[in-house]
Each structure stands twice: as structure tokens, then as C-alpha cells.
């Protein structure tokens, strides 16, 4: 099976712009979670989508948003970029956790640099 894929892998933007990142989960996985990784704050949970619905949300401002499509692919959007948004954005997919199958499989990440 193909793993989690994320596009693009690298991105450079300037302050005030917006950006959209894409994540394709492992085939059959219906849950997609997003994380932000920075040297200062470490790995922080952004949000999780399941069946096109946001099910969990971390403590991030409203500039960070996401969505999930019917094929489970997910996008996250960051509007009005700030320098502090520079980070590695990781996407993870998993099966429906109702049965305890909660292993999250991570993609390689998108590295965003905001200038």
C-alpha cells in the first residue's frame, strides 16, 4: 500500500499570503489529522477530520482551517501568514478508531517557510 503523501514538500511564502497544503491518506483510512512541528513548540495537534467532518481541534487560531473530501483526501489552509507559521506540517491518517485501531501513519511533511 502506498503511504501517506503530502504536497508540496517545500513551500516559501511571504507574510500576509495564504497557503493550502494537501494530504492523501493511506487507502482505506478515513481519519486524517494535521500537526505543526516547530523547534520551539514541538509537535502540536491542529485538527482531525473523519468522514468529511472536523471531529477534533487543537488550540490554534481561526487562520488555520481544513477540510476533507469524500475520498478522504484532506487540505489545510493557513490565511494571513505570519513568520511564526514557519514549520513542518505533518499529516497522519488512521483507520476508524472505534475498534481501537488508532495507529496514525505519518506523511513526510510539508516544510513551510514564511518570509
Partner 1 sequence: AQSVTQLGSHVSVSEGALVLLRCNYSSSVPPYLFWYVQYPNQGLQLLLKYTSAATLVKGINDFEAEFKKSETSFHLTKPSAHMSDAAEYFCAVSAGNNDMRFGAGTRLTVKP
Binding site for partner 1 (CB under 8 A): 4, 31, 33, 35, 42-45, 48, 50, 55-56, 58, 90, 92, 94, 97, 100, 102-109
Q: What sign does the CA torsion over 32, 94, 72, 111 have?
A: positive
Strands 31-38 and 74-78: unpaired
Smallest gap from residue 35 Cβ to partner 1 (A): 8
Smallest gap from residue 20 Cβ to partner 1 (A): 19
Smallest gap from residue 6 Cβ to partner 1 (A): 8
Nearer to partner 1, 31 or 114 (CB): 31
Q: How far apart are CA 48 and CA 89, in angstroms?
A: 13
Per DSSP, 25 falls in state: P
Amino acid at each position: 500500500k502506498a503511504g501517506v503523501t503530502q504536497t508540496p514538500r517545500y513551500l516559501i511564502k511571504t507574510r500576509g499570503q495564504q497557503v493550502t497544503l494537501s494530504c492523501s491518506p493511506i487507502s482505506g483510512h478515513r481519519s486524517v489529522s494535521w500537526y505543526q512541528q516547530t523547534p520551539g513548540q514541538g509537535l502540536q495537534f491542529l485538527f482531525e477530520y473523519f468522514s468529511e467532518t472536523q471531529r477534533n481541534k487543537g488550540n490554534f487560531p481561526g487562520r488555520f482551517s481544513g477540510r476533507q473530501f469524500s475520498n478522504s483526501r484532506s487540505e489545510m489552509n493557513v490565511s494571513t501568514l505570519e513568520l511564526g507559521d514557519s514549520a513542518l506540517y505533518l499529516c497522519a491518517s488512521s483507520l476508524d478508531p472505534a475498534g481501537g485501531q488508532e495507529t496514525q501513519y505519518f506523511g513526510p511533511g510539508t516544510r513551510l517557510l514564511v518570509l
